[in-house]
Structure formats: C-alpha cells, structure tokens
C-alpha cells in the first residue's frame, strides 16, 4: 500500500505519513532527528510553536535541501517543494498571523504548507477573530493550507459560523481506545471535507501492551507479516486519517515507512480492532493515557481560582467535621480520629494557596495533563 497523499478541501495534497518533532522531543534540539527522518524517506515534517524547537527543525530542513544539489550525484536535486512542513499556533500573545512570521524566521522558510491552531483553548472566546487571522495567513501566502488541532465537534461548529475558508485539517489524538468517543468529531470533519490527522496512534502498544487491542492486532500481523505499529498505522489509514508519528531510532523510521510495502487491512480486521478498543474498562485506559499525554496551554487566573476554591471548600468540610469531633469528644478524640487527615489537609491548602499566588503573578504557560 503506497503511503501516498490525501487531497484536501483546498485542492492541495498532503502526504499521509508525517514525522513529528513534539512528544519526547519538546524543548530539545531535533536537528539530527529530523535529518535522519528526511534521509529515511519522510517528506512531511510536523512541528509547533509550543515544541520550542522550530529553529533546529528549520536548520535540519535547510541543510538537508542544500546538502546534495550536485546533479552528478543525484538525478533529482532536493527542493523545498519536495517537502510538506506543518507548524501550529500555540497561543502566543501576538496572534496567529504575527506568530507565524516568527515561526517562519525560525524555520528559515518563506511559507509553511500547513498552519494549524494547536488547541481550541488557545483561541477561547475569540475563535472568529483568530480564524480571520488564519485566513489572512493563507491569503498572504504565509501558509498554503490552514486548519485546526484538537478541535471537537462543538469547536468546529463554532468556527464554521464565521469562517470564509474551511479548515483543511483537524489533527487529533486517535487510537482504537478512543475511536468511539472521537467518532462524532470524525464524522463532522467528513461532512465538511476536513481531513483528520491522527497523532498518538501507537498508544495501545507503547503504554498498554497487554490490552485487548494488542490481541486484536495479532491476525493482521501474521497475515501481512507486519509489526504491531504498522498495523495500527494501517488502521489509521482505514479511517482515512493522515498519520503523525515520531521516533529517535533509525530502525523505527524504516519500520514506519515500511507500510508502503503492505496491503490494506480487511474490513473484519478493522472491525475487530474497533471492538477491542470499546472495552468496558475504558476508564482505565484514559487514566493511564492522562499520565503520558501532556499539553502546554495558558491557564487563566480566574479558572485556576475556581479550581482552587472547590478544593479549599472540600478541605473546609473536612475541617468542620474534625471540629465537630472536637466538640463531641475533646481534643484527644479529634486527634485520634482526624490527626493524619488534618495534617495532610493543612499541607495541601498551603500548596494550593502558593499555586494560586504563582499563577496570579505570572503570565507563563502551565504544563497540565490534557485529555
């Protein structure tokens, strides 16, 4: 099955396999990693402002293009048009338009092929304004295509109320354990010819290797002489998704690109994987997933205050109960029944207050688990 391309609603064609510079590579120099991916055969590179490595991504791209322009050595010299480069607006104060100009300087590019709003929280309360800037980005040629990331159906509907240009792509986390809950979003995207890009697709085998999905992969693995990772990528393609993945290992790069030599999954194999993902213990997988998936986004002081307030109220209830024990049985009875919980409660209250003070006095982004 050739990796090929998928046609977008703006007429352009996006490569179906992308190398991502996020995940474990956030805040790291990815020059060697991106170079290795390009050398291996990846032609789609996905990055973002929040990854804080656009500069090393750009240097790798520039050097890779310029490293072999000797036509005596190569029948087809490398060129910018051979690559598809994606970056994302991650909530910078200057707004999508100006932040992309900064990204282009770091990437050493005149344009990106795709520019996404990284998450709806970055444009909360100003979706129409932000998308208008995105449309201007496309009109001015800074990005050939524009889209969104991590948008659910409600976010897409809100955006479409004012959009003159449809998003070409919605990049979402997608694997069999969360396919059912993402189905509405996938169907909404299909209705508006918005292509779904899938990241995090290897979660079932990297974090839950003993889960039911792993067992469902066995038959197609044997039939196609493939690896578990390759079968999950074929599952994404069966859902008409564009694959976004990453690795720092050369052998993994070759493994992922190896899906070009494989056939497609049978309908019953896709159905079996879907069914395995709809486990009654889905909450366990979400709990594990939240441990590994982290997202950087700004947290407003008011939202933080509400969360801390709820927490303090819960602790207050504990304190009131302890005081009741004190009135009923005296100090010794209170300490006997509530000594340890009270000690923990006072400590947590102190931490919560310090956290609120830090958030109130800082405009920096906070790193939080994000589903």
C-beta separation of 193 from 274 below 8 A: no
| Residue 118 is among the residues annotated as catalytic for this protein | yes
Q: Residue 131: CB partners within 8 Å, gap ≥ 6?
A: 117, 123, 159, 162, 163
Instruction: Take residue 306 and report the two structure tokens written for it.
Output: 């509400």
Please identify which residue in the block is written with the tokens 């010794």. 332
SS3 category, 33: helix
HSE value, Cβ hemisphere, 13 Å, CA-based, for 47: 31
> Which two three-digit tokens encode residue 271?
């159905």
Residues 6+ apart with CB under 8 A from 82: 43, 65
- Active site residue: 44, 52, 118, 155, which one? 118
Nearest CA-CA partner of 200 in 178, 231, 184: 178
How many residues are there in the chain? 371
Classify residue 85 as exposed, middle or buried by CB count within 10 Å of its CB (0-12, 13-18, 19+): buried
**What sign for the dihedral angle of Cα 176, 177, 178, 184?**
positive
Question: Active site includes 119?
Answer: no
The residues, ordered by sequence, that sit 6+ positions from 306 with a Cβ below 8 Å of its Cβ are none
Separation between Cα atoms, residue 76 and residue 53, nearest integer Å: 29
Q: How far apart are the C-alpha atoms of 131 and 147, rounded to whole Å?
A: 9
Q: Which of 31, 44, 51, 285 is catalytic?
A: 51
Classify the C-alpha dihedral 365-366-367-371 as positive or negative. negative
Is 95 buried (19+), middle (13-18) or exposed (0-12) by CB count in 10 A? middle
Q: Which two tokens stand for residue 323?
A: 């005081």
Residues that are catalytic: 51, 118
């Amino acid at each position: 099955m050739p990796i090929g391309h998928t046609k977008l609603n703006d007429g352009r064609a996006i490569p179906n396999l992308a190398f991502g510079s996020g995940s474990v590579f956030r805040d790291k120099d990815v020059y060697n990693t991106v170079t290795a991916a390009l050398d291996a055969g990846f032609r789609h590179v996905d990055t973002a402002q929040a990854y804080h490595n656009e500069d090393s991504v750009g240097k790798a791209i520039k050097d890779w293009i310029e490293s072999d322009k000797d036509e005596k050595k190569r029948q087809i010299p490398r060129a910018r048009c051979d690559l598809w480069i994606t970056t994302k607006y991650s909530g910078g104060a200057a707004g999508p338009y100006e932040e992309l100009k900064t990204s282009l300087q770091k990437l050493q590019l005149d344009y990106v092929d795709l520019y996404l709003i990284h998450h709806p929280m970055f444009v909360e309360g100003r979706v129409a304004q932000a998308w208008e800037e995105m449309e201007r980005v496309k009109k001015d040629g800074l990005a050939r295509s524009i889209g969104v990331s991590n948008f659910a159906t409600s976010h897409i509907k809100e955006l479409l109320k004012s959009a003159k240009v449809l998003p070409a792509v919605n990049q979402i986390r997608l694997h069999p354990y969360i396919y059912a809950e993402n189905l509405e979003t996938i169907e909404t995207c299909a209705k508006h010819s918005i292509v779904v890009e899938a990241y995090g697709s290897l979660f079932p085998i990297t974090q839950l290797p003993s889960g039911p999905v792993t067992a469902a992969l066995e038959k197609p693995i044997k039939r196609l002489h493939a690896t578990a990772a390759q079968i999950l990528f074929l599952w994404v393609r069966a859902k008409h998704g564009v694959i976004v993945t990453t690795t720092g290992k050369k052998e993994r790069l070759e493994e992922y690109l190896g899906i070009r030599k494989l056939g497609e999954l049978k309908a019953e194999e896709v159905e079996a994987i879907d069914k395995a993902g709809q486990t009654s213990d889905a909450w366990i997988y979400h709990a594990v997933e939240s441990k590994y998936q982290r997202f950087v986004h700004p947290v407003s002081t008011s939202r933080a205050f509400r969360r801390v307030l709820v927490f303090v109220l819960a602790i207050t209830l504990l304190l009131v109960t302890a005081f009741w024990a004190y009135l009923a049985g005296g100090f010794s009875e209170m300490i006997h029944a509530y000594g340890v919980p009270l000690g923990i409660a006072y400590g947590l209250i102190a931490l919560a207050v310090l956290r609120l003070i830090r958030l109130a006095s800082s405009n920096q982004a906070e790193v939080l688990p994000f589903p």
